[in-house]
Structure 1
Amino acid sequence: MTPSLQVIKAIMAPSLQVIKAIMTPSLQVTKAIMTPSLQVTKAIMTPSLQVTKAIMIKAIMTPSLQVIKA
């Protein structure tokens, strides 16, 4: 029994390291893909928020300006 367990261990151990070796970079790849996409989302969101703000301010300001003009 014992030698066969060592054989199993000897077969298992490298395969575990292979799995680890495959997993680790894929996690970093996922992180590498995720991070820029988050920044892209932020980059898209930020100006649109400013545009929304600018439209809101204009929408609020314009009638009051017309009232002042009148």
Structure 2
Amino acid sequence: MNEMYAFIEAENTTHDVTFLCRSLNVARSSFYAWRSAAKARAARKAADAALAHEIAVLHIASRKTYGVPRIHAE
């Protein structure tokens, strides 16, 4: 579904959003909800990447001996 919304976003400069949504059998409200949540998705992705980096640093600092319980405790 995200691919359809991304396609509509890319093509909305050449075609009307209403036409694209009707052609793809997608509700316009769903498209606009997807578009308005883009900042939240980007922020979540950045937070996940930062957490993954922190976990990797802790794991390497423990000489790769810490497992899930110790990493979680840190």
Bin of the TM-score, shorter chain as denominator length: 0.3 to 0.5
- Higher gyration radius (CA): 1
Query: What TM-score do you get using the length of structure 2 for normalisation?
Result: 0.44
Higher relative contact order (CA 8 A, sep 6+): 2
